[in-house]
Each structure stands twice: as structure tokens, then as C-alpha cells.
Chains A and B, each alone.
Chain A
Amino acid sequence: MKNYAINFGGRRQQLLAAAFVLALGLGACKVTDLQPVDALSETAVYNDPARIALAVTGVYNAAQSGFYDPLNGSALGVRGYPFGAAANSLGDARGEDVVDMAGFYGIVYNPSTVTTAAPNVVNIWSNCYALINQANVTIDGVQGAVAANIIPAATGTVYEAELRFLRALAHFQLVVNFSRPYLDGAGTKPGVPYRDYAINTPTAIAQGRAQDRGTVADDYTKMLADLDFAEANLPVTRTITTGTTIPAPSVTRAAKAAAIALKQRIRLHQGNWAAVVTEGSKLITGTAAPFTSPVGSYVLAATQRAAFPGGATASVESIFSVENRSDDNPGTNGALANVFGSAASAANGGIGGRALLAVSPTLYNATFFTCNDLRRTTMMQLDPTGSGRYVIRKYTDAATSSDFAPIIRYAEVLLNQAEAIARTGGNDALALSMLNAVRNRSVTTAADQYATGSLTGTALVRAILNERRIEFVGEGLRWGDLSRLALDAAYAPINGGGIPAKFNGNLGAGQISAARYGCQDQAKLTGGDPAAIGSVPYSSNFFLWPIPALEIANNPLLKQNDGY
């Protein structure tokens, strides 16, 4: 009996020993020795040329699809912030030429309702800066890779050039929305912090927190410096290897002309007409249509329709667009086709969009918008939904939201140039010729066209400014014009500058219905209910967006805009 037990006892111990060796041996499994497999370590990016290329592309992603967060962290969704769509739609929604039809753009559209927590405002601010830091961190990495001979200096310089272009673009978006225009005190008003260093270490965080807003002029200086670098180092054309529907040369990566054109736009905001002309001249040859660009061969498309082929495509007129695709886009809540497009189904002549921003009668009925203008007859349509409203047809793919977001078109270069030339009074004929190049492809009725020599001086400038409203509606340029013209006594949109009165599309048929629209019919603007959203003077705090409360809470150094 005893032997029996001992016998088994020995085997028992073996069994146990085996079990425990097995248990402890599992230490070799190293269950805790894990690394992410769904992302790359930051230390494993800038030592590999292919990954550096991916990182540079990733910065464009930050331009295209930053997060939108209406619920403060619990509802992150992509809505094309900042440049995948939002800059376009918000730039228009801040102005008077579109109407917020359903309330989605209410806090942007009705200036007096903006708050320090307004999601659109918070997200432009945070996503522009997210883009900026992505660019800075990547610039830092690229420079390190060049120094370490991982990539050739020439490659690194091109990368840095496109990243500095994006950095300037983002800062421009910020300074135009959150600061007083350059013309107010020649840039002496508070600007936005210009971040030009990588923030990926605790030291850099401390540095960032110690930086104040600076001045508007500081921002302009630094944007121009970035763009000068970009111009000097970017290639004339870009091709990308992926994707089959993208025309070569690609417009979705920064090229030399994009840097020049953005500089031209910034100079326009500075009121530095000579500098506008200098930049524009690099992109324009000829004295009469067709104007072409010696850099990149940009040219106006035959019609505006051709300039907006719809979907994931660009045209010869596109200088820089932000790319979208069916599987990566701002979605039904943000994509341009969904926001601007007709709600009617394709069978009924629409695109199944949502018509959240319709054309305002203010623009549609404007006396300068001729009746047979193709931009009215083919680029706008009546959306019969509700009481009826006219909507924009520039964007066509509401089903998969793939329309590119236009950032700079050749038409803008021409109108910027025309305005600067007309402002300086040096060559009104050339300015008118440029205006007509853009205008006459749409205004095909001879009687409606501006004859050579028919416009000069103030009238010419005004015609160019009016033309911008028709040509660029739906592209987000309106806010920039309201901002830069506010202190421009002769051309201010309203007396003393400010945001003009608007119709309220969310206030019944008395405000917006098909009956409200009529070609050059001013009576329809004043008949019935007056425009329900009053004008906001330039002096009002509502002229500027507030800096988000979240920023102020964690960055006490940053001074809030007055009145918020």
C-alpha cells in the first residue's frame, strides 16, 4: 500500500514538474513583448525612402479628411475638414450668395449665432493646425532623412516644398477667418500663431504654448516665405502613380503654379497690387483670350461645365484641388455634391444630393448676372424640393461623394490679375480682356458681353468683383472677398464693410421659394418677407470667428477675439 503511494507520488511529481515547467516556460512566449501591427513606430518612418513618401502623402490626407466632432470626442466623423470640402462650403456659407436651407450651416451662416464651441469653427481651427503640425513633423523628418542620406537632397527639397505649400494654405485659412483683414492697420491686428516647427516632443509643446498670436503681418510674411520656397523647389507638373482616373499631370499634389497662385491670392488680400501682378505674370501669357500659363500649361476650359467634369476628375483649369474618392471622402454630411447638389433623384434631373446650401436669390437675381449666362442656365438648376430653390451643379457625384475640392483654378488667377491691373489703372484693356476670358465662355450672348473699352476704372473693378461672385459660387472664395473688401471704401460689400443681410432658408416659403428667384429681378428680393438675417457691420465681433474655448482653456497666452 505504501509502495503504491510512493510509486504514484513519484509520477505525480513528474507530472507537476512538467506542468510547472510548461507554465514558466511560457515566459518564452513573451506575451507582453508586443508592438503595434496596425501602425508604424515613429522611429521606423524616416529611415526608409518609401515610407517617407507615404508620410508626405499622409500630410495631404490631413488636408483632406480631418475629423469633425460635433460631440466633443464621442462622435468623430470625417466631413472634409479643412480642405476636403469644408473650406469650400464654409467660405460660401459665411457670405450672402448661398442660403442655408435646412439649418445645418446655421451657426456659420447666421453670424450672430457663432459661439466659442461652434463645431464648424472649432474644427476649422483644430484641423488646420493638425495639418500644419503634420507638415512640420514631416518636414523635420524629411530634413533628417536628407541629412542621413536616406533620400537625396533633391527629393527632400521637393517634399519640403509641397509641405510648406500646405502649411501656408492652412495658415491662410486661419488668418482669414480668425483675424481682421490685412488692410486693418496694415497687418498690425492680432494674427494666428504661425507654427513652423515640429511639435512632437515635450519641449516643442512648451515652445508652442509660449507663442502668442503675433500679428497678421507676421503671418503674411511667413506664408509668403513658405510659398517662395515652394515656388522655387516644386516641379512644374506632378504625376502620381496610383489611381487610374487621375489625369496626368496631377492636380492633387502641389506644383509650382499652385504656390505662385496662392501667393497671388495672398497678395490680393494684402492689397499689394503690384505684387499680385508680379505673381500672376508668371502664370499668364498673352494679352487676349486664350490666356495660358507658361508654368504647367494651365488654360481655361472651354466652358465652366468642362472645368467641373464632376466626380474624381480635374480639368486643364485646375491648379490645385484636394482629392476625394469613393472610399475616402467627406461623406454625405460634408461632400460638396451632397451639400450643394439637388436633392431630386437622377430620374428627376437631380443628383440625389441634399441641397443644404442653395443659391441665394441675392446672387441669382443680381443685376450683373445676365439671364443667359451658362453659369445660370447650365451650372444652376431648380430643385423643386420644398417650395423650390436653385442649387449649384458644379459637383455631381452625390452617390459616392468623390468630387475633388477645388482650391485654386486658373480662372481665379485671371480674375485676381485683372483686378490688380484694374486697381492700379495701368492697363484697363488687359484687365477687361482677362475678365472677358473668364466671362465670355459663359456669357455667350453677344449683347450681354462687355465690349472692348466699355469698362474702365471703378466700374471695371466692380465688374471683376461681381464676376468673382458668379464664377466662384460654391467654391468658398466669398468669405475671403468679404474680408479683404471690408475696409475697401469703394468696394465694400456694404457701407462700412461687414457681412450683408441674408435670406433665411429655414424660415418658410416667405423667405425662399421658387417664386423668389427671377433673372435680374430685384423686386423679388425686397417683395414679401425682407431678408431675415440682418447685416453685420465690420466693427462687430461677429465679423470674426472666435478662437475655440478649448484652445483658450489650455493655452491662456492666446488672446481671444474681442467680444467673445
Chain B
Amino acid sequence: MLTLFQVVLAQTRSVSGRVTDQKTGEGLPGVTVLLKGTTNGVSTNADGAFSLSVPATGGTLVFSSVNYVTQERPLGADSQLNVGLAADTKVLSEVVVTGYGTQERRDVTGSVASVQGEAVANLATPSFAQQLAGRAAGVDVQTPTGLLGQQPRIQIRGTNSISSGTYPLVVVDGQPIFTGNTSAFANGSNPLADINPADIESYEVLKDGSATAIYGSRAANGVILITTKHGRKGRTNVTYDNYLGVAQTLKRYSVLGANDFINIANEKIRNAGGTTAVAAPYSDAAGNPVSTDWQNEIFRTGFQQSHSLAVSGATDKTNYYFSGGFTDQKGVIKANSLQRFSFRANIDSEVKSWLRVGMNLGLTRSQTYGLNTGTNSLSGNVASALVLLPNVPARNPDGTPYDNGVGILGRGNNTQTISFNYPNIIFPLENNTYRSISYRILGNGYLEVEPVKNLRLRTQLSTDTQLQDDYQYLDPRQGDGRGVNGSVFQSFSPNIRWNFINTATYNNVIAEDHKLNVVAGVEYQKTTSSYYQANGTGLSDRALGQNNIISGTISTPTIYGGYAQNGLQSYFGRVNYSFKDRYLLSVTLRSDALSSLPVANRRGLFPGGSLGWRISEESFYKNSALATIMPTLKLRGSYAQVGNTDIGNFPYVGIYSPAQYASQSGIGYGQFGNDQLKWETSKKEDYGIDLGFLDGRINVTADYYRNNVDGLILAVRTPLSLGVPNNSYNANIGTMYNRGFELGINTQNVRNENFTWSSALTFSTNKNKILSLNNNEDVLYTYNINRVGEAVGALYGYDYQGINSANGNPIFKRINGSLVQASTAGVGSGATSTVGRYYTYDPANPGAALLNSGTGANQANLTTADKILLGQTNPKFFGGFDNTFTFAGFDLDIFVRYNVGNQIMNVTRQQLLRTDFLNNSTEILNRWQNPGDQTNVPRIAAGTSAFVNQDNSASSRFVENGSFLRLQNISLGYTLPTNMLTPVGLSRVRVFVQAQNIATITKYTGADPEVNSNITSNSQVGVDYNSNPQQRVFTGGVNVAF
């Protein structure tokens, strides 16, 4: 007995080591290290180190910690044992941030999607928003172009208004921020890009009525909550993250080279009655014929880099996070770049046991260099490059842009100058300046006291201060600045919002079974947006206009300015109650007053509520067989009424606006008033179910929602001939709904110590339908329509039926089913002229002569009334599929995104078939030439394309399926083993490479199916018009922790 005991003692040995986070390499404090099957165990210290006595004969150590996957390691001979624990994604989001508070995921009865900041932090994109695409069900994020500074279009559960804003409310650390472009230039500023993605801890997307109701009138379009990083207990943590990368255009347009162009151009002229060729080859000095690819002059390979340094940590009383970031992105579009310096300081301190203070402060300077990207501007980069003549050189032998001496592209050996007097695009790109600098202060400070236990009173004052400084220089020699002898323009626009929130929160568990959380509060918000601008033309010297307006250098000065303000005042309250952890109830009430509405209707009441039932906590369920495979089962249901504050500053006031008549000052009737205007409300219903299988390794969340928007604030169209200002007034007319189904599945497919594989799948559908409009009249746009019974912004145009192979005329179907053909004749005179006319098409006799009058006359019409619906512009369903693998030190992430069922009007394609003296797409090579030709491209005659191709109208000929499947992102990382790092004083080093926008499967023939010319419009969507293509980015980088 005694002997035996001694032997045991003798065989005991000590094992020590360090437990780290597998991903960050940081030491993990408080990890339980237990000898399996015994009570022998210790906890790791602040640095993650441990030491434990174990039997020499072996055994197994179990490492467990909240939020991490438990690991077991058999004891070997070594006395040193280092372990990296993998984060347990199923529990990472146990606590979710909600409006004015937090909640445990298990208690949530609303629909809330969470995305961890880490998932997107290292991606080279203009802003974090682009990376949210496909990661949260119900959130549709479109990136319309590859321009840096481009705002994404974000829609949560469909388009929720026609005339009012549809952008979600974005709240950073409890403060609502600016989201729109505040620059004087298109794509000049993207306020979302002012936030360094590396500083973001998590995103929460509030989607249904219950989750958003606490934001009342601002909630119609959903809410995105962003939480920035805070220090964690443990030693001071210093991290450095960077990436370097190159970017290219994802796809370019296919246009004609010189030879094809010359043939086509001359054919156009012949068909229009011209007898002399206009286009001829041009040879360079070496005698080689010139064929210029103008897209090479507007696109390039971009170089992009980002560096972030952060220091964080926490003592018992205080936690802190400081960071600095720098990113420099040179776009794939020439002249386009983005440079951002960002600083963040987040501090929370427990001054007394009952008093906490803190602040979150972000300072950013973002500088965006842009350019003219106007879709029909002469100096618009894509608009111009696609149509510039390929049979003239891009540059003179001395390197200067080739031009005709008066600011227009040179005509080479052609007998005609380019139509519309396009300038050589090189000149504006190399000489004009569009600079936007945004200075952003995003800061809040709070004070929180706990006067009695469980009651916390918090007051938070915050500001979003954005100072926008824009500068434009237009060179006097060519392009936009030529006519005015040079132009300088400078704009300063401060946008200042302050927000003051006071809340009282009561949190308690009463008699074990009653969990209660009550929030009541009051909020004030005021936003002031103003600007002053100066413009000078007639520049004395080019050198004096490069960076700033300089006194005494301009001959014609002009000044502009404006001032707008908006205020919101609210009272709100919410009760969350759960009984026995099974029956969950949430009730919200908010009262908002908004300065944008008339006094009588200014205050609106927005109630919401939800119920939840955690069936899996019921004893009958726990005892059932189902509980073993599906231990979590929760049903949710919610209803709320929310409003929309994004309705303009004074939509109800009948106003007289300044109306200058040259030298004479004036005012003019500027807005038709409506003192009856009231809140636009959304009634949101949501029914959801949360399922957890196999010990939480599979989590499924499914929701069905209905959102009925009532009393839409519609810009009611008035007939043009009434002369009402803006041809519209605002009134509460119209209803529509969005309905859809959302599914999110997170699985941990494999979770071994050395190999883990987890997946996240999102799937969302949305159906939008307009139920009523003013007199139920159509609201027409150039390519879109809002019509009762259809989705908002549906495409609307002519029903194209192909080509008459006998004569090359396009055939259209009228609303009555009859077929008409449009004459492609380019020449004709008097009563027999067929130019610009329609004739009936007889399939039995396609070659019938076109006759205006007399026997056999077959003249016909195709009118606006013959236009039909050509498809909806928002996807029917969309989502993403993310797979993450870790193996030893390697981590691999593959993210795929899909979007199905939307149609796109490809105006670019329509425009590239013009028969003016411009270059064309290669599609024109298929044009009809001889009787019998079977093709889809009509005969080409100069000056006829506006008629033949139905310019300024949509046509089924140019409406294409915008569905796509995109390999959005692949990243591969390797975390160096700790034993290599300790000697050099590093705690973690991860190197990675990644590629974004790798491949896209789509039938869409344009540059990209995600393009959208009008991202700020709800109705004029799904239109691709000379868009800048997306970028494909390859990066490599390193994450280091000290």
C-alpha cells in the first residue's frame, strides 16, 4: 500500500504550456485544463500559460473555455504542451447588440443577423459594406461599379418605399451616422468608407419590425448596427495588419478595332444615301495602321495597400482600444484613387462600482480622387472610351493626346469628325482634377450610473461631424474646361449631426423564472447640412489652378450656397420579458416627432411587439427523442409599425425658392405644399424559427416576413402641362408590400483539433408588389415603370421580335398582338419616304414593299401604349455560401455569392449600336446585310439608330437576365507556429493571400451584372449605362500580434 503510493508519487510529473487562440495567436486566460476523468485541473493565467501535475503514465488533457471548441490532447512524453483553441462560431454571437442595448441570442424574438467584423476586415474594398453582401440573409448589397468612392446600394428586405429613402439606418456604437454622398461630385464621398474595417468588432442587421421598432420612424429600411472594438481583459495586445495588392478590371467591353470600324462606318453611310466613304485607315509614323484600344487609356492595374495598428487591453476597471489605419488604393479606373487615414480611441472605465464613463472616438481623413464618369457626358470616361474612333491614334508622336486643335478628337484620315464632338478622353483624365477630402469626427461619450441595483441610467452625447472639402480643376485646353477657358471649383460642406440619448435600463431576474429587461429613453437629434461653393472660369494660368482657388486668377467668379436642417425628437420604451426561459415577450413603443412633417402630424407613434417560444426548454420536448438530435427549437413571431424619416427636409411646405433672372434677383414657386402630409408607415410581420442540431453544430434560422407599406409618401406626378414645380407634389398615396423568406444555416462540419470546416449559407427571397398609386396611374420613367400589381421599378418597353430577314427591319409586337416592322431606311423624301416609319409585318410575306398610301398601303404605328413589362429589377432570390477550413496553421475561406431573377436593361449595349459616326460594339458585326440574313441586329444606316434601336426606351432586345453566381472571395492564411515566434517576441503571425471577384457565372453580356446606373433611385434601377466595371483584387498581407 505504502509502496504503491510512493510509486505513484514518483511517477507524477509536471506539464506546462500555453493555450492560445488558434486564429489570433493571443494567449487565452481562464481556460480550464483538466485531466480527463479526474478533478485534477487548473486555469490558465492572464497570458494563457498553465502548469499541471499529471501522471507519468499518460492520460488526456481537456482544454475548455467559453466561446471556444473544447479540445482533448493525449499526454505524450513532452513536458511542454501548447494548444491553440478554435473559436466556437456557434456561441460567438451569444450576445447580440440590439437597439439601445444588448440581448442574449437565446432571448431574441426579432430577426437579427450578425456578421463578425473579422470575416471582412482584411478585404480590399472601398468600404466594409461591399463585403456584407451575401453574408446576412435578407440584406441585398449591390456594388454598382469598380469606382473607389462608390456608394453601395443596400436594401434590407426589399425596396420599402417609392419616393422616400430606402437606405437602412446605420448606427455605430449607438449613434446614427450619415450614409449618403455628401460630396459635390458623384462618387465623391462614401461615408461608410470612413470607418476602418479593421476597427469593427461586429455587425448586426436588424430586419423585422420587432428588432427595429425601437428605432421607430427610422426603421422602415432596417438598421445596421456596427460595434467597434474594445479592449479585452488580459495583457496589452498590439496588433498590426496589412495587405498589399493589385487590382484589375473584371471585364471590359468588346468594341470594334480599326478595320471592322472602317467597314461598318462606311456601310452606315452607304445605307443612308452617302456616296463617299467617311472612314479610312490611318498609319503611324512607322507606316503601321493604327487600331487604338481606348479602354487601355481609361483602365489600368491598380495598386492597393492597407496598414492598421491597434493597441488594446483592459484592467479590471478600464478597457481601451486605440488604433491607427492607413489605406491607399489606386483604382483600376485611371485618375481614381482613395486614401484614408483613420484613428480610433475607445475607452470605457468603471470609475466607481456604480459609475461608468467612456467614449468612442473615430477620426478619419478620406481623400478620393475621382473623374467625370457621367454616363452621357462627353468627357465621361466609359461613355467616351467606348465610342472614340479606333482608327485614329491615341497620342501624337510627341505624346500629347491626338486632337483636332479645337478640343475634339482628331479625325485622322476620316472625312468626318466624330459625332457629338467627343474629345480625346486622355486629356481630361490626365489634366482635370476631381478631389474630395472628407474629414470625419465620429464620436460619442457616455456616462452610466447604477443608482440602485439592476437599474442603469445612461446618457450619451454623440456627433457625426463631416467636413467635406471638394476641389475641381478643369483644364482650359480641352474637355469640359475648354469652352470656359478653364474652370476651378471649390466646395466646403459641413454636415453636422448631434444626437443625445438618455436611457434607463432595468435588468433583473425575479424569482428565478422571470427575466425582465426594461428600457426607457428619450432621444434628440439634429442634423445640419450646409455648403458654400465658389466657381471661377477664365483661368489666368494653368499652374495657378491645380490645388485650390487662388485669388486674382479667374475672370468670372460665381458663388453658391445652401443650408438645410432636420430634427428628430423621440420617447421610447421596450420591455423584454421571459418566463422560465421558455416564453419570451418583447413590447416596444416609440414616439417620434420629425421636423419634416407639418406640426399637426409631426408626432407619430410606432408600436411593436414579439413573442417567442423556446419549445426545446419544455420538459415534454427535453424528454422526447427529438431533443437528442435537435436540442434547440424556438418559434418567433413579431409585428410592428415603423416609419420612414428619409423624406426630405420640408416635403410639406409650399415654398418660393430663390430664382435668379441673370442680373435680377427673384424668387419662384418652388414646391407644391401639402399640409396634410403625415408619416409613411410600414407594418412589418415576421414569423421565424430557430433550430439547433447535434450539440449546436448545425444552426438553422428561417423567417417569413411581410412588410406592408401604407400611405407611402409618394411624389405624386402631375401632368407636365399643369406646370406644378417638379411636376409633382408629396402626398400620402400608395401602398405596396414586400414579402419573403429567409434562411440562414451555419454548420460546423468538422471540428477536430487540427482540422475544422464550417459553413454558412444564406438564402433570401423577396417579392415586391405595388398595390395602389395615385388614381392607379402608371408612373413612367425612361426605362422603368411603377404600376399597380407589379414590382417597384419594373422594366417597361417595347416587345422586340427579331429581324425581318427580307429587309433587315426590326419587328415589334404591338399590345394588340399584331406585328410591325420599323423601317431602317436612312434616306427618303416626301410622301413616299419610309424613314422613321412603321409598317405591318406579314410573316407570310416578309418581303412586302413598305407603302405609305395607295393600294397595299401597310403603314402602321408603334406607340407608347404598346410598351409592355419587361421584367423586375430586384432579384427574386439571393444569398451567399461561405466555407471556412482550418488545418494545422492554415486557414482557408471560400465565399460564393449568388443573385437570381433580376432583369437588366443594357443601355450600354443599345448605345454601342448607334449608327452615328462613333465606334460600336462587336455585336454590330452581325448586322443584317443581305436578304435572307438570319441575325438579330438590324440593317445599319447612319442617323437611324435612335429610331431603329428605340433609344430612350427599353426594349426586350436589350433586357437581359442579371442572375449570377460569383466566386467572391478566396483567402488562404497560415499562422506561424508559436515556437518560431516566442524568440522574436511575437505572439502571433499570420500571413495570407486572397483574391476577390475571381469568377462570375452569368448570362449577362455587359461588363457586370451588378451594375446599376442610378443607385440612389428606388424606381430607376436595373439600368446599365456606361458603367465602370468592377475590380478584381489580388492581395497578400500579414497579421501580427505582439
Contacts and interface: CB of A to CB of B under 8 A. Distances in A.
A385 to B, nearest CB: 5
A399 B717 contact: no
Contacts of B417: 102, 385-387
Given A41-B653, A112-B836, A386-B404, A510 B721 contact: no
A20 B723 contact: no
A311 to B, nearest CB: 12
A534 B1014 contact: no
Interface string B934-953: 00000000111011000011
A385 B720 contact: no
A564 B947 CA distance: 13
B836 A325 contact: no
A32 B595 contact: yes
Interface string A530-548: 1011111101101000001
B16 interface: no
B421 interface: yes
A26 B499 CA distance: 12
Contacts of B482: 352
A115 B661 contact: no
Nearest to A386: B417
A529 B275 CA distance: 6
B720 A353 contact: no
Interface string A321-354: 0011111110010000010000111000010111
A323 B656 contact: no
A398 to B, nearest CB: 6
Contacts, number: 402
A126 to B, nearest CB: 4
A312 interface: yes
A88 interface: no
A343 B829 CA distance: 32
A148 interface: no
A22 B414 CA distance: 76
A205 B718 contact: yes
B869 interface: no
A354 B782 contact: no
B483 A398 contact: yes
A388 B722 CA distance: 45
Interface string B272-308: 1111111000000000000000000000000000000
A326 B1022 CA distance: 39
A55 B656 contact: yes
Contacts of B669: 42, 55, 58, 133-134, 137-138, 200
A162 B687 CA distance: 64
Nearest to A23: B502
A36 B562 CA distance: 11
A64 B562 CA distance: 22
A424 B833 CA distance: 37
A174 B449 CA distance: 71
A199 interface: yes
A414 interface: no
Contact of B502 (A15, A20, A55): A20
B781 to A, nearest CB: 5
Contact of A134 (B662, B664, B723, B780): B723
Contacts of A308: none
Given A133-B722, A133-B723, A134-B669, A510 B275 contact: yes
A75 B1020 CA distance: 12
Given A24-B522, A45-B656, A329 B483 contact: no
Contacts of A387: 415-417
B780 A529 contact: no
A511 B649 CA distance: 54
Contact of B569 (A31, A54, A510, A554): A31
Contacts of A42: 653-656, 669, 673
Contacts of B272: 504, 507, 532
A400 interface: yes
Given A39-B670, A43-B654, A134-B669, A34 B664 contact: no
Contacts of A521: none
A278 interface: no
Contacts of A24: 522
Given A12-B451, A508-B274, A552-B864, A32 B420 contact: no
Contact of A32 (B602, B778, B779): B602
Interface of A is mostly: loop
Nearest to A560: B863
Nearest to B673: A42
A113 B655 contact: no
Nearest to B720: A126
Nearest to B1019: A73
B567 A529 contact: no
Interface string A194-215: 0100011000010011000000
Contacts of A511: 274
A356 B538 CA distance: 22
Interface stretch (A91-99, A239-247, A361-369): A239-247
B569 A27 contact: yes
Contact of B830 (A12, A38, A338, A535): A535
Interface string B651-668: 001111111111111111
B870 interface: no
Contacts of A27: 569
Contacts of A39: 653, 655-658, 667, 670-671
Interface string B777-821: 111111000000000000000000000000000000000000000
A290 interface: no
Contact of A548 (B275, B593, B720, B725): B720
A60 B667 CA distance: 10
B706 interface: no
Given A34-B567, A70-B376, A113 B947 contact: yes
Interface in B446-479: 447, 449, 451, 457, 459
Given A51-B667, A507-B943, A558 B654 contact: no
Nearest to B942: A507
Nearest to A198: B669
Given A20-B457, A102-B417, A129-B721, 5 more contacts: A20-B502, A60-B664, A112-B836, A242-B663, A553-B780
8 contacts: A8-B352, A19-B502, A23-B500, A39-B658, A399-B483, A506-B917, A542-B836, A554-B720
Q: Which 4 pairs from chain A and chain B are nearest by CB?
A: A112-B836, A133-B723, A534-B829, A243-B663
Interface of A: 8-9, 12-13, 15-16, 19-20, 22-24, 26-27, 29-43, 45, 51, 54-62, 64, 70-75, 102-104, 106-107, 110-113, 115-119, 122, 125-126, 129-134, 136-138, 192-193, 195, 199-200, 205, 208-209, 240, 242-243, 245-246, 252, 312, 323-329, 332, 338, 343-345, 350, 352-354, 356, 385-387, 398-400, 402, 498, 501, 504, 506-511, 513, 528-530, 532-537, 539-540, 542, 548-555, 558, 560, 563-564
